[in-house]
Structure 1
């Protein structure tokens, strides 16, 4: 009996040693490294509002006045004649990481108002780095651009769309009056 107990004890000790050894053999360690890249946040500054200037009008027909994003030229038609051949493009400086790719999207329309009457802004275009791009809305595929100097200027032009019936009242129409709606530009890192 003593021999049987000794054999059982020896077998149990050997079994524990084998099991313990197999657990130790299956335990391994792995280091997981981490990294982070920091870049300057995008900032928009030095905003300039679009200005079509004074527009002389006659009659009550439909028409348009275009502020061209390529060169700030103003053109109208027979019933809507800009007093100057150039206007002021909307503009904003984009500050960010030099060489980074940004995405630019913008609303294609806005609304000018005198507080009572409204005129549509349509065909919005932006110009950056010598290239014009049509705005298609904030929810559409954006245009991309590489920041060349850390600060690049985005310029904005549009068309005033005068519907049939013409101008309802002489005066200053802008996007900040009641019922006005500005053109929003969105810039994000790609």
Structure 2
């Protein structure tokens, strides 16, 4: 049940948008995430990306994750710019990539995020992956190009952008800085193998 206006926990960032004024409703998890980690600006995301690119040299798991993040961003852009079957195909490809990417991270990387960056961070990451999969499944049932479809796509993209920012600005750097080199080598090998098995399957 939505909190009342008098509820001090509800801030301008967490209050549900009024459907009459436009905008997609935020989920309960969206509101929690917004309260804990306000959305990063384009400049902040770009800065985090640059820093992780420098830090990830010689860290294959981080390089692979960065490459997949770029692919995900490109597919969002492709889906937005395409029409009809092209948009549907881009969303299908996006869903497949995000599924394989998230499963590889959850199986191989997130246990180390839990250890070296915090259990709360890992827990949030798992939840965000789950919500993204649900939202993408809903998007695939909608007619591409409609206002509702575009709002849903924008909503998912914004959530993914924030998730990527959290990974690139904090969670992955923590693993690189604090996990022993042997552990990072294991992560790199297993992440690539896990993703390739999923991708080929």
Work out whether the TM-score is over 0.5: no
Calculate the TM-score normalised by the size of structure 1: 0.26
The answer to which structure has the higher helix fraction is 2
Greater Rg over alpha carbons, structure: 1
TM-score, with normalisation over the residues of structure 2? 0.25
Q: Which has the higher strand share?
A: 1
